[in-house]
Amino acid sequence: MDDEVGATTRLQLRLDAPAERWTDAFPVGNGRIGAMVHGGTAHELVQVNDDTCWSGAPLDGPPRPVGPLGDDDPPAVVERARARLAAGDPLGAEREVQRLQTGWSQAYQPLVDVELDHPAAAGDDGYRRVLDLGRGVVTTTWRAADGTPWRQDVRVSHPDRALLLERASLPVVASPGAAAPGGGGAASPGPVPAGAGDAPHDVRVRLASRHPWAVAPTSAHRGSADDPARGRARVVLRAAVDLPSDVLPDYSGEPDLVTYGGRAVHAGVAVAVLADGPGATVDVADGEVRVRGAGRVRVVLTTATDHDVAAGTLHGDRARVAAEARAALDAALADLDGLPARQEADHGALMGRVELDLRAPGEDPPTAGADGPGPVPDLPLDARLVRHAHGAPDPHLAVLAFQYGRHLTVSGSRPGTLPLNLQGIWNPHVQPPWNANYTININTEMNYWPTLVGDLAECHEPLLAWLDRLAAAGEATARTLHGARGWVAHHNSDAWCFTGPTGRGRDSVSWSWWPFGGVWLARHVVDHHDWTGDDDALRRHWSVVRGAALFVLDTLVELPDGSLGTAPATSPEHHYLLPDGRHAAAGVSTTSDLAMARDLLDHVRRLAPVVGERDEDLLAAVDGALDRLPTERVAPDGRLAEWSADVPDAEPAHRHQSHLYRVFPGTSIDPDAAPALAAAARRTLDARGPDSTGWSLAWRLALRARLRDPDGVTALVTAFLHPVDADPADLPPAAAPAAERGGVYRSLLCAHPPFQIDGNLGFTAGLAEVLVQAHRRGPDGVREVHLLPALPAAWPSGRVRGLRLRGGLRLVDLAWRDGRVVRAVLAAERRVVVDVREGAERRQVVVRPGEPTVAVG
């Protein structure tokens, strides 16, 4: 960044009180280890996850239907369901496919809590807790009751594979300043200074877990006189847990929701507690570390499990787990003083690729060479969110929400890790909401919408690697349940690549019977190539795309009019009303099924030459299916139809809008390519209403942007930033009940409610769509780069740098003033001709590799 201090200062989430609940805490991570920092003074809690910690174990074969199936095999049951639909009995069809339900996915698990008791530090004077998004560090500063200033930093280092908590007293100064709580030092760069203060203190550090200990916290090394000449002491603890062998979702209605004792992940931690200061000592009693007389305390934590992510297996060697955790700890301790700089350089290198500045009307626009922030209220987040809800301009909140999504991606998804689940890698519950699984009828996909446009392509790799395993597991499911080639995944999955329909005969078909999870997920392989141009990656993962296409081709059915369709078909999690008022989910050829099928087959045909696909029978079948698949239609009320028949919606304001798939994340419907369908899509969003779950608001933001609706964008930004945990008396009156409104918690984490990370990540992607779109190609094949296609009037001036675009393009710089572009610079890795567009104005530009090209200005 050109202005490191300014850029760092502007990317801070601030709260002026310790966390009272988990969603008040701030998240940090390195892809493997996630930590939620509560920021307590006398009592600190850092809740720790490891992304490999899941209940259950690798599957021992394809999912088994609960039945009863009678004398038929599962594909025959599907045929019976089709016959029921043809006879006008959708509820009978639902009862048939409920027989094919196969249980549930497993649940993401917490690992340990790190707790610090520090009575002498109690106090709230000048308290400030800051998550610096640019550095990936949570810094807490305050004054104790005796006037002593304190500072605590918590970070998780990717290079060192370790969490580091540092707490120290600071020099007492006459008034708050650069080194004191409440001043600029609240989040100043760099580690906590060793021996900065003159207030030695006593602290107790302990580990807790929501699981029974397999190895209770035990001293692995004593070192109270580790380096007496330098006034340092340390002790090392080790501990281990066996995770549950089965966790059922709380909505399952089953007994024994959490089971221990079977095959399960074995997880270990190694923890070092270091005390700095003349005469400082550390000791262990009853599994608790007791520190005395230290001016600075550092806690270093590493983790290991027997879960091999690449293979999806458990090796079961407990001694190896303990040794790996200890080896990682020893490596971090070898140069602990250098860990903060390594962590910040690593995190900052990824975060610094993209910069965003938004200005409200009347504010000075950003100028070339000056990257300082626009006016930022000197208020904590909770107060700013309430002011924003009352209409006070604060564009910087949108900037923070945009960069927060990138921080969560950098912190939660790195090469070699599992993909982000419903809660990213942060979860305190043994039985989390919806098992914190991979919900693949929107949420997992949304998690990865911002990675490519946000120039974090390496953070996309965990999803692609997992898809390879999911596709392999889904082949048996496709064959046994559907009698089809290729692979299938239904609406839920987990670390073990569960692919069956969820439930034990009672789950609603509206979510359980949706065999298009693989079809949607395969688009991520396509998107990765469209953004990066990486032909090798496309070839590596082509089996994901090809297998999903084979499944579609084998499960399409011929309808009476000669077209192809799907049956039984559902529109994710939605119902329609039967004439007698009952709810039904199963039907024939829902719009979302047809849209996803067409989208996938289009991409197979387009990319087959790139990968050297030589299966002419496959390509002929793709062409034949594309000729016979119906496209979207406009219903009599002007909306884009969701169902094949004109039936009333059971929930007119439903949170899913899967039938708008080809608007976004698809690329086929926009006001230029399909104006009538785009207008119908906009009417659909209008009919859905202004409020929904947090993640749905983020999806609608991207949809409104793709439909070039600035007023809709404004309304959705406001709705997304609604503070769900504010006192209702502090908020303006609302038409929707509080329980029906999503938004964000005071920490800016997205609220379904409850917490789901997909909304944070979807918001980032949606805001990028507001600023630039590059999905369209003209009749001549030239890619269009559309600048500011849906800019709200609330942001008349601003600047964005570093976004990555389809076609291997990069938006080096885009600045605007009074709603008009004043400068746009593009770059590319290979020569490309683009059609740069702003409003109705167009200009064709040739972008050459290694030569940033000024397209405007």
Q: How would DSSP label each residue in 18-31?
A: --SSGGGSEEEE-S
| Neighbouring residues of 490: CB distance < 8 A, sequence distance ≥ 6 | 440, 499, 500, 501, 502, 512, 513, 514, 515, 517
In a domain, 410, yes or no: no
pLDDT band for 180, please (50, 70, 90 cuts).
Answer: very low
> What per-residue confidence (pLDDT) applies to 178?
40
- Exposure letters 514-543 (e unless 16+ CB within 10 A, then b): bbbbbbbbbbbbbbbbbbbbeeebbeebbb
Q: Residue 484's closest CA among 158, 812, 74, 14?
A: 74
Q: Give the H/E segment covering residue 117.
A: strand 112-117
Tokens encoding 101 = 């339900």
Inside any domain, residue 706: no
Each residue's pLDDT tens digit, 467-515: 999 999 999 999 999 999 999 999 999 999 999 999 999 999 999 999 9
pLDDT tens, residue by residue, 225-270: 455 445 688 999 999 999 999 999 999 989 899 999 999 999 999 9
Residue 790 is inside which H or E element, if any?
none
**Beta carbons of 348 and 789 less than 8 angstroms apart:** no
Supply the mean pLDDT for the chain: 93
Provide the Cα torsion 335, 339, 341, 345; round to 10°: 120
Sign of CA dihedral 107, 459, 714, 640: negative
- Number of Cα atoms under 13 Å in the Cβ half of residue 453: 26
| 242 assigned to some structural domain | yes
Strand, coil or helix: 318: helix
Confidence at 737, pLDDT banded by 50, 70, 90:
confident
Q: Is the pLDDT of residue 40 over 70?
A: yes
Phi, psi at 12, each rounded to 5°:
-125, 130
Give the domain CATH number at 265.
2.70.98.50
Q: Which domain holds residue 149?
A: 31-54+108-346
**Band of residue 736 on the pLDDT scale cut at 50, 70, 90:** confident
- Report the alpha-carbon distance of residue 116 to residue 175 in Å, rounded: 28
Q: How confident is the model at residue 70 (pLDDT cuts 50, 70, 90)?
A: confident
Question: What's the confidence (pLDDT) of residue 171?
Answer: 79
Q: Is residue 356 part of a domain?
A: no
- What single-letter amino acid sits at 742? G
What's the CA gap between 566 and 643, in Å, rounded? 12
At 593, give phi and psi (nearest 5°).
Answer: -60, -50
Going by pLDDT thresholds of 50, 70 and 90, the confidence category of residue 675 is very high
Cα–Cα distance for residue pair 674/523, rounded to 1 Å: 21
What is the token pair recorded at 550? 């084979």
How many domains is the chain built from? Answer: 1
Region for 369 from its dihedrals, namely left if φ exceeds 0, alpha if ψ lies in -120 to 50, beta otherwise:
left
* 147 within domain boundaries: yes
> Does the reported pTM lie above 0.75?
yes
pLDDT level of residue 201 (50, 70, 90 thresholds): confident
Whether 374 shows a pLDDT value over 80: the answer reads no
What separation, in Å, do the N-terminal and C-terminal C-alpha atoms of the chain show? 22
pLDDT for the residue 509: 98
- Checking DSSP bridges between strand 213-227 and strand 296-305, what pairing results, if any? unpaired
Span 19-26, mean pLDDT? 98
Distance CA 156, CA 51 (A): 13
User: Which of the 8 DSSP states describes residue 147?
Assistant: S
Tell how strand 783-787 and strand 832-838 pair up. Answer: parallel
% of the chain surpassing 90 pLDDT: 88
Residue 596 resides in a domain: no
Residues contacting residue 401 through CB under 8 Å, at least 6 positions apart: 720, 721, 744, 748, 760, 763, 764, 767
For the stretch 556-584, pLDDT in tens is: 999 999 999 999 999 999 999 999 999 99
Write out the two tokens for 360: 């409200």
For 52, the 3-state DSSP assignment is coil
Please choose, from the candidates 532, 360, 545, the residue with its C-alpha nearest in 3D space to the C-alpha of residue 458.
Answer: 532
- Token digits of residue 1: 């960044």
Question: Residue 633: exposed, middle, or buried by beta-carbon count in 10 A (0-12, 13-18, 19+)?
Answer: middle
Q: Where are the alpha helices (DSSP H) in 478-635?
A: 509-512, 517-532, 535-540, 542-555, 591-611, 616-628
pLDDT tops 70 at residue 836:
yes
CA 508 – CA 505 distance, rounded (Å): 9
Q: Residue 509 falls within a domain, yes or no?
A: no
Cβ atoms of 169 and 196 within 8 Å: the answer is yes
Q: Model confidence at 5, in pLDDT bands (50, 70, 90)?
A: very low
Whether residue 177 has pLDDT greater than 50? no
Q: What is the average per-residue pLDDT within 187-209?
A: 73
- Residue-wise pLDDT for 311-328, tens only, equals 999 999 999 999 999 999
The helices-and-strands tally (H runs, E runs) of the chain is 20, 38
Which residue(s) pair with 36 in the sheet?
Answer: 27, 47
Q: Please compute the mean of the pLDDT values over residues 617-636 and round it to a whole number.
A: 98
Q: With respect to residue 216, please indicate whether it lies within any of the assigned structural domains.
A: yes
Q: Which helix (H) or strand (E) holds 244?
A: none
Indicate whether 195 pLDDT > 80. Answer: no
Supply the pLDDT for residue 7: 40
Give the residue carrying structure tokens 């303006």: 732
Dihedrals φ, ψ of 608, to 5°?
-55, -45
Q: Please tell me the predicted confidence (pLDDT) of residue 453.
A: 98
Nearest to 717 by CA among 794, 805, 817: 794
User: From the centroid of its chain, how far is CA 545?
Assistant: 22
